[in-house]
Amino acid sequence: MSEHKIMTKKRKYSKAVVDGVEQAPARAMLRAVGFKDEDFAKPQVGVASTWSMVTPCNMHIDQLAKASVMGADAAGGKGVVFNTITVSDGISNGTEGMKYSLVSREVIADSIETVVGCQGFDGVVAIGGCDKNMPGCLLALARLNRPGIFVYGGTIQPGKGHTDIISVFEAVGAHAKGDLDLIQVKQIEETAIPGPGSCGGMYTANTMASAIEALGMSLPNSSAQEAVSQSKLEDCQRAGAQVLELIELDLKPRDIMTRKAFENAITIVIALAGSTNAVLHLLAAAHTAGVELTLEDFELIGQRVPVLADLRPSGRYMMSELIEIGGIQPLMKTLLNRGLLHGECMTVTGKTLAENLEQTVEYPSGQRIIRSMSDPIKSDSHLVVLRGNLAPEGAVAKITGKEGLCFRGKARVFHSEELCLQAILEGSIVAGDVLVIRYEGPKGGPGMREMLSPTSAIVGKGLGNEVALITDGRFSGGSHGFVVGHITPEAQVGGPIALVWDGDYITIDAEAKTIELELSVSELEVRKAHWQAPGPRYTRGVLAKYAKTVSSASRGAVTDLFEV
């Protein structure tokens, strides 16, 4: 009886579901799924699994979820697995289906919140392995604010010849140029994805895994383990057990996801040359956690943080090679020692970031994956926030310096991703063009599709340094070249990008941080007066609901930005 009283104190939520004679019906149903008498006195840990056979990123997560349950059970809790959805960006890119990708982030967050809130779990382990289910898990943990940990499903191993999914996308463009025949494209297709795990460069999945670890919401090194490895199974077991410790400490996500913790996450994204999608997802997570975070914060942090990682897509190395030299922990220690991280931030270990890094060793000598602070790839951030008459509320570019720092050219306007891709593959795009893809924003798409197919085709066609692409949509973490996304306001709500005509001159200046349509104010006003908003592309279902509720990309494209 005394043990039951002790455990009741820890069971802040589950006791309302299973304690007392009036809850006999609930206990009866739980017995059918494996609960024993003693389990009702244990803190319950919900394990949110994003397992699915729709994508290699998540095909192994059922086994990781079982490992987390084992960890929770061994630590004195009762682990319970439940599932949520996932979709695949890599499969749907370039199709109408990609409109569901960013939408799925909200669906995942909603579903995890719904199950945990209904079932009364006392703690949560959320396991994600692909671009949108990872921030979806993070949003849910922040909303629920119950002791919880995020676990990354892990990165994929490289394909034959140091290839990955981006190699396949770029092979399509190389074939259109005539550099690869169909047999060569098929050979790359057949070997680039050797098994389970998330895309192998510093694309969105590995970027977000690293950001979430720096945020303090994953155990140390969770971001730097291969999907199929003993270390990843152990990471999941430790997470299941650690949630019980968090329940004991009453340490919750919003205690960890502070303003300074988000600054740490942004710092790591910059140092790793991470995906522009991190801007969107960190803004959304901060909103959900009740932390004030804006595009200006990315600008300010970017002024003092260098790019140090030579990782794909703009660099040479893959995540598996970074894992071999120690992952991101040595990088974090370097940044901490230089005063670029807030060491006092609490983490899911129950210790501060600085305490977690005390025993971290340096990278092996001679490695070139992570540069020294005295030899950066770029002295400031590759994530450049641009403003001007074409993006008065901001736009986000990924400029490593390899693309150049300024681009001026004539606009080629497209009202969808597909029309632009067709023009690229047909050969009608020439050096000096600025491709404008509009009506692909959060509301206009709806869903803010990634432009991976067009950007990869541009690179494959050999135009990566000769053509710019701007959009109110967004980019895959695998996109590179002179590309600008997240242009706000978007075309659907009458933003200036809706007013561009073929042949207009556009100047993008990464040093001045401007993006300008070379037209007078009066000409823009005349065009605006004659502009009419297109009707919604969807009038029923999840895409229609999303279009009505989603906020601007400059505010994270969240669906719960309500005035109170």
Separation of alpha carbons 235 and 246, rounded Å: 16
**Positions marked active-site:** 476
pLDDT of residue 488: 98
pLDDT for 4 equals 40
C-alpha 145/C-alpha 275 separation (Å) is 27
| Residue numbers in the chain where pLDDT is lower than 70 | 1-9, 563-564
d(CA 94, CA 91): 9
49: region left, alpha or beta (phi > 0 left; psi from -120 to 50 alpha): beta
Write the DSSP string, 93-106.
TTSGGGHHHHHHHH
Contact call for residues 94 and 453 (beta carbons, < 8 A)? yes
pLDDT at 479: 86
- Span between the terminal Cα atoms of the chain, in Å: 45
pLDDT of residue 3: 42
Q: Say which residues have a Cβ less than 8 Å from residue 320's Cβ, sequence separation at least 6.
A: 155, 156, 157, 158, 200, 226
Neighbour count for residue 250 (Cβ, 10 Å): 12
Which SS3 state, helix, strand or coil, does residue 337 take? helix
What six digits make up the tokens of 171? 């092979």
Q: How far apart are CA 240 and CA 238, in angstroms?
A: 5
Q: Write down the pTM of the prediction.
A: 0.96
- pLDDT of 399 reads 87
Phi then psi dihedrals of residue 178, to 5 deg? 100, 5
- Report the 10 Å Cβ neighbour count for 70: 16
β-pair type (433-437, 468-471)? parallel
Whole-number pLDDT of residue 216: 99
What is the token pair recorded at 435?
Answer: 């491709």
**Phi and psi of 395, rounded to 5°?**
-145, 160
Q: Taking a C-beta distance cutoff of 8 angstroms, is the pair 332, 214 a contact?
A: yes
Q: How far apart are CA 304 and CA 218, in angstroms?
A: 25
